[in-house]
Amino acid sequence: MASLRVTPRALNHYSATFRPRLLRPRCQPRFPAKQTRWSSATTEPHQPAADGTTHGAPSSQKEIRFTSESYPNIKRDVRFGELSEKDVQYFKGLLGTESAVIDGISQDATDDLEPFNSDWMRKYKGHTKLVVKPGSTAEVSKILRYCNENMLAVVPQGGNSGLVGGSVPVFDEIVINMSRMNKIRDFDEVSGTLVVDAGCILEVVDHFLAEKSHIFPLDLGAKGSCHIGGNVATNAGGLRLLRYGSLHGNVLGIEAVLPDGTIMDDLSRLRKNNTGYDIKQLFIGGEGTIGIITGVSILCPQRSKATNVAFFGLESFDKVQQAFRAAKGRLSEILSAFELMDGQSQDLVHTVTHKKRPLEGQYPFYCLIETSGSNPDHDSEKLESFLEHVMGEEIVSDGVLAQDETQIQSLWSWREGIPECLGHWGGVYKYDLSIPLPELYQLVEDTRERLKSAGLVGDDEKYPVVGVVGYGHMGDSNLHLNVATRRFDKEVEEQLEPFVYEWIAKRNGSISAEHGLGLAKKPYIGYSRSETMIRLMKQIKDLYDPKGIMNPYKYI
């Protein structure tokens, strides 16, 4: 193989900092926390504005506002029954063990109910007085049938790690928490087919698979708490989507309980099964509004033996697109992540963390590229060929290549640290958007220009906006547009909305790429879906949940 043909400065940099030819990629680095999540380690989550954006001064652990107060326009549906002690007795009798029911009806259980009433971001809080924890699909069926017959509203709850308020009640809906259904039912090592209870925790499952040299085809920052059932119900995207595709392709079967108690026994282990409508697909991304997923069958790929990470500076978004195209062509089957970070996002990370930047110069754009493959030598060679191309053609201006897992983690931290650092000054307006790739970054520029023209952005305290940044899963056309602010200012919000949503609608983008609708995005679905599609969705909702007891006030 020819030696690297790179620009002198870049060559120096490469030589001085890392030795690409001495790469020792390690197995399976721990993937970073999902970049769109607040980290509670250094910044407290903030109160949501009424529109669901995260904003406001840091709040203490005691100050979560009730969703019913944050969203005063949402009224409790009077058709729903009020829970009585008789209902509680039914559930206690059904579930047997005391620990399977948290009863706030016949006693005060506020503290015990708190973790089920509020989300981990501390943005949403409900008024439930009853949590039930079924231990089997049959129990879920009996619970739902009872609730449906008695018009009792329910909220299915997995790991409660969602970002749009979908997994906690708004009023007094019964929480059906799936954590007791946590068995790995079956794994076939030849086909890679895994069957699990919905309440299995992603990380537990992935550890189980690691012992068998397989991986779960999905990875998330919340892996330590999120449930497989919740992942499937919200059609979680995450970091492996570029490589392994979406859950719509990987999920082979679903066992779910419909509101009337019907058990939908579609837990196929088969990769191919063309015998009728693929109804389970409606439950993937259905966010618990037409039934509760109780079991999942999913195809799991072999675990890669090698991982490499490279980090680049680029002069324009056009160059970023060229680099992405080159990565697809030259890294091809081993490309497992292509992440975009703009210069402003990296400046803010640097300002907050004071860490030494990975590159000496500063650039308007940065990319993080990860490869995962079965042969470390081959992967390194492919990466070198890619580097030779993108540096020789001056597509990238500079770059570094991680030499070990510590460096892999260090490079990832410049990507994963963004959301945390953005919260340093105050609240952040966060948008999770899909945009056709050629226009992906234009939204950030347009938004920045708009806020600057309105005199809202600046370096000192008199300006409400600290900065407008863009980053995200470039490989999936998924942009995270974030506006970091010092304080709440009505004018900022008025400049942003409906501007951002209208901008997305004009490009046929998505106002929620991977987070779902939940409570937060419900009002904005019309920007991404036509009236026809919304009508067809409501048809589906009415078909499966005619009484509307499933996860009310949310989704569509």
Q: Which residues from 308-337 bind a copy of itself, rule CB under 8 A?
A: 321, 324-325, 328-334
- Residues 420-439, interacting with a copy of itself (CB under 8 A): 434, 436-438
- Residues 283-302, interacting with a copy of itself (CB under 8 A): 284-286, 290, 302
Cβ–Cβ contacts within 10 Å for residue 515, how many? 22
From 38-46, 51-59, 246-254, 394-402, span contacting a copy of itself (CB under 8 A): 246-254
498 cis-preceded (ω within 30 degrees of 0): yes
Letter for the amino acid at 287? Answer: E
Smallest separation, CB 175 to a copy of itself (Å): 22
25 phi/psi in degrees, rounded to 5: -60, 145
| Measured distance CA(327)–CA(309) in Å, rounded | 12
Q: Token match 């069926």: residue?
A: 141
3-class secondary structure for 277-317? CCCHHHHCCCCCCCCEEEEEEEECCECCCEEEEEEEEECCH
By C-beta, is 308 or 321 nearer to a copy of itself? 321
Pairing between β-strand 306-314 and β-strand 365-373 as defined by DSSP bridges = antiparallel
Site string for a copy of itself, 168-207 (x = CB under 8 A): --------------------xxxxxx--------------
CB 489 within 8 A of CB 456: yes
Rule CB under 8 A: say whether 455 interacts with a copy of itself. Answer: no
Rule CB under 8 A: say whether 505 interacts with a copy of itself. Answer: no
Rule CB under 8 A: say whether 276 interacts with a copy of itself. Answer: yes
Cβ neighbours of residue 218 under 8 Å, at least 6 residues apart?
202, 231, 236, 238, 240, 241, 244, 247, 250
By C-beta, is 450 or 547 nearer to a copy of itself? 547
Smallest separation, CB 203 to a copy of itself (Å): 22
From 77-85, 397-405, 455-463, 509-517, span contacting a copy of itself (CB under 8 A): 509-517
Rule CB under 8 A: say whether 239 interacts with a copy of itself. Answer: no
| Measured distance CA(188)–CA(190) in Å, rounded | 6
- DSSP codes, 375-413: -HHHHHHHHHHHHHHHHHTTSSSEEEE--SHHHHHHHHH
By C-beta, is 70 or 528 nearer to a copy of itself? 528
From 8-16, 43-51, 456-464, 524-532, span contacting a copy of itself (CB under 8 A): 524-532
By C-beta, is 134 or 237 nearer to a copy of itself? 237
Which of helix, strand or coil describes residue 363?
Answer: coil
Rule CB under 8 A: say whether 233 interacts with a copy of itself. Answer: no
From 129-137, 443-451, 490-498, 511-519, span contacting a copy of itself (CB under 8 A): 511-519
Rule CB under 8 A: say whether 138 interacts with a copy of itself. Answer: no
Rule CB under 8 A: say whether 145 interacts with a copy of itself. Answer: no
Pick from 103, 342, 514, 545 the residue near a copy of itself by CB under 8 A: 514
How many Å is the maximal CA-CA distance in the chain? 79
Give the residue from 467, 429, 472, 461 showing the smallest Cα distance to 448.
467
Rule CB under 8 A: say whether 28 interacts with a copy of itself. Answer: no
Rule CB under 8 A: say whether 517 interacts with a copy of itself. Answer: yes
- Residues 360-419, interacting with a copy of itself (CB under 8 A): 373-375, 378, 381-382, 385
| Measured distance CA(7)–CA(18) in Å, rounded | 16
Smallest separation, CB 50 to a copy of itself (Å): 20
Rule CB under 8 A: say whether 530 interacts with a copy of itself. Answer: yes
From 22-30, 167-175, 307-315, 521-529, span contacting a copy of itself (CB under 8 A): 521-529
Give the residue from 273, 202, 212 showing the smallest Cα distance to 232.
202
From 14-22, 280-288, 443-451, 486-494, span contacting a copy of itself (CB under 8 A): 280-288
| Measured distance CA(177)–CA(199) in Å, rounded | 8
Rule CB under 8 A: say whether 546 interacts with a copy of itself. Answer: no
Rule CB under 8 A: say whether 67 interacts with a copy of itself. Answer: no
By C-beta, is 5 or 271 nearer to a copy of itself? 271
Pick from 49, 174, 241, 309 the residue near a copy of itself by CB under 8 A: 241
| Measured distance CA(282)–CA(366) in Å, rounded | 37
- Residues 345-364, interacting with a copy of itself (CB under 8 A): none
C-alpha distances in Å from residue 353, one per residue of 44, 165, 372, 418, 550: 17, 30, 29, 10, 44
Pick from 272, 354, 462, 490 the residue near a copy of itself by CB under 8 A: 272
